[in-house]
Amino acid sequence: MKQLYIAGTWVPAAGEGTSQTINPFDASPLADLAEAARADVDAAVAAAREAFDAGPWRRSAVTERAALLMRVADLLQRDREQLAHTESLDTGKTLNEARADVDDSTAVFRYYAGIACAHAGRVVDPGRPGVTSRVVHEPVGVCALITPWNYPLLQISWKLAPALAAGNTAVIKPSELTPLSTVALVCLAEEAGAPPGVVNLLLGKGGTVGQALVAHPGVDLISFTGELVTGETIMAAAARGVRRVALELGGKNPNIVFADTDFDTVVDNALTAAFLHSGQVCSAGARLIVQDSLHDSLVAELAARADRIRLGSGLDPDTECGPLISAAHRDKVERYISSALAEGASLAAGGSRPSEPALARGFFLRPTLFAGCRRDMAVVREEVFGPVLTVERFGTEDEAIALGNDTGYGLAGAVWTSDAGRAERVADALRHGTVWINDYHPYLPQAEWGGFGKSGIGRELGPSGLEEYQEKKHIYHNANPAPSGWFSG
């Protein structure tokens, strides 16, 4: 049974609670897991608190912290195939996707190892002789890092690498649905030489373990990636004690296509935008917004291509899309499909479970395409988080921008056009944290990631991703102190 990692030791849970993670391809069990109790949350936070307050980590040279991150990166590459296999089994994604996740996680650790030394602070000109003034960066403290089930390895890397680079200690709580690659990463951090208490791991459900962790007064910062309602609950909990939060809460992302774009290229990329990892991606291009003159031909080709997408086990090299994460999540997506039909959307492809007997035990759903969609439909307004693509239409550039911004979210979006001026105008006008021009889905460790509006608070990746885990302190040193003469008496 997988155990908890607290104060540099793998330990059993204080209680007797257990859970099981399953393979979404066929519902077969993968591992039995210990479930942390409140006593384990207290122990993990105490270990992180002790390591931060009294341990050497936050006082260590930034080069030492960078070296640890580089060792983790090297170990990720050493175990690349094993980690990808684990990630594929646990999440259902294809091996190629999982390998890319390992490579991207490696790049994130290497990026923060590289910039840690360059973000130590700055000197300020005080405008007075005999005075030095500098702004230094210090770690925030104990960080609760809570990650989602869709990209478990990648998302914990986005959080843990900058947290450690800044000199913080961490308590990690992965999703109970896909914890196995996070367990593996903590093993690699231990092997790389993370001091006891610097990295701690709790397993268990969000409603119990996660809730206890975010409410714990010993936690200084909460970084959470997940859905909106949970994020709002975490914000309320963090308000008690005025603790810092960093939240990435999903999106309802527009993919805007003008008629002057290359047809075959946009078809291919629209499918990738919507159906990568069966649409279980916070930045999925689930809202396709198409110019009138291109609309009918694009919908027809997308429908034909969507029907040919091969479903199966992520370990099968012929598989293009895997299953959804759970039966409950598939039920949720199917409710959105039913509501779209009830509200008058036109089903162009998919909309049902596959008929192949080999897929019957898994949580599969055919890639689904709806045309004739309106902004008042729930399937267009709300984050479905599954293989469902809606199509809206527009006439003018202004209409496209208005549709693209007509959402409470603001995580990501894209514009496709051969007109460079139009591309830049639309990108500038869209209120989303990432905007791709003639592309979809790539991200860079050195470029900030996060959203506007209900998509969250703060940024991951880039220099800002490191600053989320840093406090700024101004040190003003007067080398020649003298009476101020402010008061005459």
Please give the positions annotated as active site: 248, 282
Are residues 199 and 186 in contact, defined by beta-carbon separation less than 8 angstroms?
yes
Closest to 363 measured CA to CA, from 378, 375, 353:
353
Q: Is 214 exposed, middle or buried (0-12, 13-18, 19+ CB in 10 A)?
A: buried
**Residue at token pair 């596959």:** 354
Longest C-alpha distance within the chain, in Å? 94
Measured CA to CA, the distance from residue 91 to residue 362 in angstroms comes to: 12
Radius of gyration, alpha carbons of the chain: 24
Q: Which helix (H) or strand (E) holds 46?
A: helix 38-53
Label residues 302-337 b or e (16+ Cβ within 10 Å = b). Answer: bbebbeebebbbbbbeebbbbbbbbeebbeebbebb
Q: Rounded to 5 degrees, what angle do the CA atoms 66, 68, 71 make? A: 110
Q: Rounded to 5 degrees, what angle do the CA atoms 16, 17, 21 make? A: 135
Are residues 89 and 314 in contact, defined by beta-carbon separation less than 8 angstroms?
yes
For residue 193, the tally of other CB atoms under 10 A from its CB is 12
What amino acid is encoded at 331 in this protein? D
**Residue at token pair 């397993």:** 203
Measured CA to CA, the distance from residue 220 to residue 234 in angstroms comes to: 13
